Amino acid sequence: NTKDFPKSFLWGASTSAYQVEGAWNEDGKSPSIIDMCNHPEGTADFKIASDHYHRYKEDVKLFAEMGLKAYRFSIAWTRIIPYGVGEINEKGINFYNDLIDELIKNNIEPIVTMYHFDLPYVLEQKGGWGNRDTINAFLGYAKVLFERFGSKVKYWLTINEQNTMILHPGAIGTPKGSTLPSKKELYKQNHHMLLAQALTMKLCHEMCANGKIGPALNTTAMYQDTSNPDDAIAAHNWESIRCWNFLDVAVKGVYNPLAWSYLVDRKLAPTIQDGDMEILKNGKPDFVAINYYSTATIAASKNDASDVSARAGDQQIMLGEQGVYRATENPYVGKTKYGWVVDPVGLRMTLRKVYERYNLPILITENGIGAPDVLEEDDIVNDDYRIEYIKKHLEQLQLAITDGVDVMGYCPWSAIDVVSTHQGYGKRYGFIYVDRDEFDLKDLRRIKKKSFYWYKNVIVTNGSD
Ligand code: BGP
């Protein structure tokens, strides 16, 4: 028998600050690394985005109408502490205070991501995450968030998709005038982020009596291509390097042994200073958040450049790595227009693996389908593909719950249309359409898509629809 969704299930939806807010240089906000990135030609930049900064009240009203029980958004560090460290910008505090109050007034639980790709540029100029001082800067920022919002916000997410930032840095943009860091440098940054995360989780428990905090990684089960045992080893290796290497540190406080030996063999391992392992051990999450979009199917490496080129142009996060693994086509799964694998059963598989491994409640903080939605006459957006996508994922999510996995909530990407990380407004994910083109802002009007009404009904019936 299929189990019901829990009564307290957090039916939600997600956004991130830089993709939804706009107002990129207003009210004391400083530029983040995203504001200083090269922007792909022909797509919208993040300066105005969906103008949520000025329209949050209208947006929250719509979220309430949709019946959202939770809203996952991120706070921009650059609004709170524009210089990265030191002086607090009260205007930034006020904005998020008002947003949080508005959510609570509408019975929507705020779920706050503390960091979603947008490091203050001033810190980047001092070495960014490669500089150990950034750990303390982050902790200082976290302290302000807990102090100012800790009495109202229960759910906190530390760092969004750290694994994407480390394994595929180009996915969030290339800083103007500089090249992407080397792998060695990236794993050093990774270690510093992990330390910052562990210290932040500890601080949250010290400062917020009811606070619950966890990491939010892009987590994906890997399939082996064939029954060839070498494919099984490659799939296992890649899963360890891509997923467990990040989650094991967050949850268990230790580097994954297989991934660590991969790093050591390639001279990529970060220097561990005295006391570091202690810090990692002392930071404990209350839950694990995952962003789930796709699975990957993995074959043994051919040990030449074709390991990578075999998938060039496809979803960036599954490119292949020479000597490690090859990503292959899976005839049993679908694909979006952008080449992202659509695999609802993979969500069930991923949830099972994460739960079995860590035994902590799981919050799904992203899942969704990017599509070039079309606004038709009479303000209609017929996004049946989105309804079908989410419906199938919810079916599998319910099966995972039936399997025994503890899932706290589901926050698909995205509550409202936002700027895609590098594909502008041609690729939309929202339940609410924002009327603008890449360059023509029109009136930024909000229009409920077909999926809006459908998801509302899902929530009202606690998923039994
Ligand atoms: C995740 C990010 C989000 C989001 C989403 C969709 O990796 O956390 O910020 O944008 O992917 O990706 P894209 O916008 O590239 O289609």
Residues 216-235 have pLDDT tens digits of 999 999 999 999 999 999 99
pLDDT tens per residue across span 413-427: 999 999 999 899 999
pLDDT of residue 168: 86
Least confident span in 193-197, 312-316, 324-328: 312-316
Pairing mode, if any, of strands 341-342 and 334-335?
antiparallel
Dihedral sign (CA 237, 239, 245, 248): negative
Q: Half-sphere exposure (CA, 13 Å, Cβ side) for 238?
A: 30
Total of domains in the chain: 1
User: pLDDT tens-digit profile of 99-108?
Assistant: 999 999 999 9
Q: What average pLDDT does range 168-181 have in this prediction?
A: 78
What pLDDT sits at residue 313?
46
In a domain, 302, yes or no: no
For ligand 1, residues with CB inside 6 Å are 16, 19, 160-161, 164, 218, 291, 366, 370, 413, 420-423, 427
Whether pLDDT at 320 is above 80? yes
Determine which of 67-76, 77-86, 171-180, 439-448 has the lowest per-residue pLDDT on average.
171-180
Q: How many CB atoms lie within 10 A of CB 360?
A: 18
Q: Please, which pLDDT band fits residue 312 given cuts at 50, 70 and 90?
A: very low
- Mutation probe of ligand 1 site: the residue of 337, 420, 422 with most atoms within 8 A of C-beta: 420
Residue 87 designated active-site = no
CA of 15 to the centre of ligand 1 (A): 9
Which pLDDT belongs to residue 366?
98
pLDDT at 176: 74
How many alpha carbons lie under 13 Å from residue 316 in its C-beta half-sphere?
15
Ligand 1, atom nearest to 317 Cα: 7
| CATH number, domain containing residue 42 | 3.20.20.80
For atom 11 of ligand 1, the residue with the nearest CA is 421
- Strand, coil or helix: 310: coil
Distance CA 346, CA 397 (A): 10
Residue 223 resides in a domain: no
Give dist(CA 218, CA 286) in Å, integer.
18
Residue to mutate (ligand 1; options 366, 369, 425, 428; most atoms within 8 A of CB): 366
pLDDT of 334 strictly over 70? yes
Q: How far is the CA of 421 from the centre of ligand 1 (A)?
A: 6
The minimum-distance atom of ligand 1 relative to the CA of 293 is 11
**What pLDDT was estimated at residue 309?**
67
DSSP single-letter state for residue 386: H
The string of pLDDT tens digits covering residues 382-415 is 999 999 999 999 999 999 999 999 999 999 999 9
Question: What's the pLDDT at 464?
Answer: 82
Catalytic residue among 21, 109, 124, 366: 366
Q: Reply yes or no on whether the pLDDT at 310 is more than 80.
A: no
Averaged pLDDT for residues 346-369: 98
Distance CA 451, CA 460 (A): 14
169 Cα–ligand 1 center, Å: 13
Spatial strand order in the sheet of 296-299: 222-224, 296-299, 326-328
What spacing in Å lies between the alpha carbon of 429 and ligand 1's midpoint? 9
CB-based contacts of 13: which residues, under 8 Å, 6+ apart?
63, 66, 68, 70, 71, 72, 411, 412, 413, 414, 415, 431, 455
pLDDT in tens, 262-285: 999 999 999 999 999 999 999 999
The active-site residue, picked from 21, 161, 239, 321, is 161
Note whether residue 70 is domain-resident.
yes
Q: pLDDT tens digits for 7-63?
A: 999 999 999 999 999 999 999 999 999 999 888 889 999 999 999 999 999 999 999
State the closest ligand 1 atom to the C-alpha of 160, by its place in the atom list counted from 1.
Answer: 8
DSSP single-letter state for residue 171? G
CB-based contact 12:111 (threshold 8 Å): yes
| Residue 169 belongs to some domain of the structure | yes
Q: Supply the pLDDT for residue 41.
A: 87
Q: How far is the CA of 264 from the centre of ligand 1 (A)?
A: 31
Q: Which of 2-6, 315-319, 352-356 has the lowest mean pLDDT?
A: 315-319
**Mutational pocket test of ligand 1: of 39, 163, 341, 413, the residue with most ligand atoms within 8 Å of the beta carbon:** 413
Ligand 1 midpoint to CA 234 (Å): 26
Asked if 449 contacts 431 with a C-beta cutoff of 8 angstroms, the reply is yes
Q: Burial of 242 by CB count in 10 Å (0-12 exposed, 13-18 middle, 19+ buried)?
A: buried
Confidence of residue 74 (pLDDT cuts 50, 70, 90): very high
User: Ligand 1: distance of its center to the CA of 420 in Å?
Assistant: 6
15 in a domain, yes or no? yes
366 in catalytic set: yes
Residue whose CB lies within 8 A of the most ligand 1 atoms, among 116, 172, 421, for a mutation test = 421
Paired with 160 in beta bridges are 216
Residue 132, pLDDT above cutoff 80? yes
Domain residues for the domain of 36 are 10-215+235-294+332-460
Which of 305 and 62 is assigned the larger pLDDT? 62
What span, in angstroms and rounded, lies between the C-alpha atoms of 222 and 164? Answer: 16
Q: Which pLDDT score, from 0 to 100, does residue 252 have?
A: 98
Tell me if 318 is assigned to some domain.
no
Is 320 domain-assigned?
A: no
Which ligand 1 atom sits closest to the C-alpha of 338? 16
Evaluate whether 415 touches 68 at the Cβ level (below 8 Å): yes
What is the structure's pLDDT at 208? Answer: 97
Quick check: is 151 in a domain?
Answer: yes
Average pLDDT, the chain: 95
* pLDDT value at residue 172: 76
Residue 299's beta-bridge partner residues?
Answer: 326
